Structure formats: C-alpha cells, structure tokens
Amino acid sequence: MPRENLHDLLAFVAVARERSFTRAAAQLGISQSTLSHTIKALEERLSVRLLTRTTRSVSPTQAGERLLNTLAPRFEEIEAELAALREERDRPAGTIRITATDYAANTLLWPRLAEVLPDYPELQVEVSIDYALRDIVEDRFDIGVRSGDQVAKDMIAVRVGPDRRMAMVASPAYLDRHPAPATPQQLMEHRCINLRLPTYGGLLPWNLERRGQPLQVRVEGQVIATNTYQKLETALAGLGIAMLPEDLVLPHVEAGRLRWVLEEWFPPLPGQHAYYPSRRQSSRALQVVIEAIRWRG
C-alpha cells in the first residue's frame, strides 16, 4: 500500500472509534466532507465496505471491525513509543486523563495533585467524574480510580487511599420526626436515600456488616441520587437516611448537622486504587501523576 494511504487508515480508525464523521473530523482537524471522501476512496481501493452509514449513526461493518481491531493496537503502540521518546526530556509533558468518582477526586486526587502540578507546567491532568466501571483502554483514559475490589486483574494497581467504612447518617430534624431504627430491618420502614449506578442499572443495595457478619438490605425512599455529594446534601436537608463514606460525613456529625444511625452495622469500604495498563509504564507524565496520588499512610 502506498505510504500516503497511512493517513487514510488513520482517518478510518478515528471514524470507527468515534462512530461519527463529525467528531472524527474535529479530532483530525479536517472538514467532514474531506473525511467522507477519504473513507470512500479507501473503501474503493480495498473493494470492501468498511462502515455502515445511516442518517444518525456510523458503525463498522464486519470487515471494518476486523480492520479496526488490527490497526488500532498498532497505532497505539506507535503513539506510545513516540510519546515515550518525547517524554525523555527532563520535564514530563502531555495530558493524563483520569476517570474517578467525585468522592475520590475531591478527597484524594485534587488535594495531592495541587501540590505537584505547579512544578510541571507542561503537564495537564483531566479528571472525568464517572460512576460507571469504565474500560480505560477502550475509552482512552490513562488512569482509572476505583475501590480496590473493582480493579480488573490485568491492570497495574496502586493504592491511593486507606480502607475506610461506610456510615449511615441522618439529620437531627429527620430523626426527630422518625425515631432511629434499632435494627437493619427497620431501615425498610424509613425514607432512605438511594444511589443509582450506571454500571448496575438498578438501585444499589445497602451491604451492611457487623462483626464480620454481612447483611444486604434493599431500602426505599423519596430521593434517588446519582453521586455521593447529592446523597450528602439530601441527608443534610433532612430528607432521609444516607449511607456515605465515614470520613466524608464525620465533620458534619461532629458539628451536630448529622447523627450516626446503626453504627454497629457500618460496613468496611475497600481503599481506593489507581489502575492502568502495563504498556503505559513508559510514560513519565503518568509516573509523575501516580507518584503524586500514591497513598503513603
């Protein structure tokens, strides 16, 4: 294949990944019409259709999926090697993309990154707040941050936070109207603040534990939140009982804004871990970020 056709293959990979000519064109810095012509010319030279186009979507054909799976890893290896060469300079540079929950970002990542980022002006960090279990390779993140029990076995994992507990709390105003439950089963008689996670689809059950004895309770309430801080604000507003990281609610308990509920049933919360594919080890920018957020307790 002529050397200039390499650009056509790169264009195809961009469209197949983005599932959109518009987004791929913006990524490549060319017009949509130019990109469309490039893909059409590539298909004509190969005598095979690579993409199925509709008015609303673009997706690879079977042949296109095969070509994508062959090309994409090789292009990524080339990009990684070129990035490694560039990063042999004294000061790491480039963008490190991280997917994390808001709780991990606010309590673990930003406080530590704020201490080192001023020393590396050519290093950029992008944190995407997400509660889904993302495929960081497919979604092109450099680092994922999740609880240790959620990290895939084929990833390199680095602890960034200690093991903690989840705590059940409610405001004094709520408990004045609704006497605190004496048993976990009585939670089902209360207004509890639920959490819906995109990975699970449904509402997350409450997994409690007392002296090593686990107990799962499915609770109900008026409010369904999609992140930790929504649950916290709802609990502070007196709208029900919430289960939240103990360290997050402790200042509110000490200030009298919240009270513990069923403290003997607080379950353990596995420590947060940063994880990344082994092939990214050569990135000096990634190493700087990992060392910055590593837990040293």
| pLDDT mean values, one per 10 residues, the chain (297 residues) | 72 90 89 91 90 86 91 85 67 89 95 94 92 84 85 83 96 96 96 83 86 93 93 97 97 98 95 82 82 92
Q: Closest Cα partner for 146 from 138, 282, 155?
A: 155
* Extents of the domains making up the chain: 5-86, 94-154+280-293, 164-269
- Please check whether the two domains, 5-86 and 94-154+280-293, share a CATH topology: no
DSSP strand E in the chain: where?
51-53, 58-60, 94-100, 123-129, 143-147, 156-159, 164-170, 194-195, 206-210, 213-217, 224-225, 242-245, 259-260, 268-269, 272-276
How high is the pLDDT of residue 117? Answer: 94
- Is the Cβ–Cβ distance between 241 and 193 less than 8 Å? yes
How high is the pLDDT of residue 201? Answer: 60
| The amino acid at 231 | K
How high is the pLDDT of residue 279? Answer: 58
Q: What span, in angstroms and rounded, lies between the C-alpha atoms of 4 and 113? A: 42
Backbone φ and ψ for 65, nearest 5 degrees, come out as -65, -40
How high is the pLDDT of residue 88? Answer: 60
* Structural domain 164-269, CATH architecture: 3-Layer(aba) Sandwich (3.40)
Q: What span, in angstroms and rounded, lies between the C-alpha atoms of 77 and 224? A: 43
The DSSP result for 51-90, as a single string, is EEE-SS-EEE-HHHHHHHHHHHHHHHHHHHHHHHHHTTSS
Taking domain 5-86, whether its CATH number is 1.10.10.10 is answered by yes
Q: What span, in angstroms and rounded, lies between the C-alpha atoms of 172 and 178? A: 10
Q: What span, in angstroms and rounded, lies between the C-alpha atoms of 234 and 221? A: 11
What is the b/e burial string over 216-234, where b = at least 16 CB atoms within 10 angstroms of the residue's CB? ebebebebebebbebbbeb
How high is the pLDDT of residue 199? Answer: 62
- Is the Cβ–Cβ distance between 260 and 229 less than 8 Å? no
How high is the pLDDT of residue 282? Answer: 59
CB atoms within 10 A of CB 286: 22
CB atoms within 10 A of CB 273: 22
Interstrand relation of 213-217 and 206-210 (parallel, antiparallel or unpaired): antiparallel
CA-CA-CA-CA dihedral for 279, 281, 285, 286, to nearest 10: 90
Superfamily of domain 94-154+280-293 in CATH is Periplasmic binding protein-like II (3.40.190.10)
How high is the pLDDT of residue 131? Answer: 85
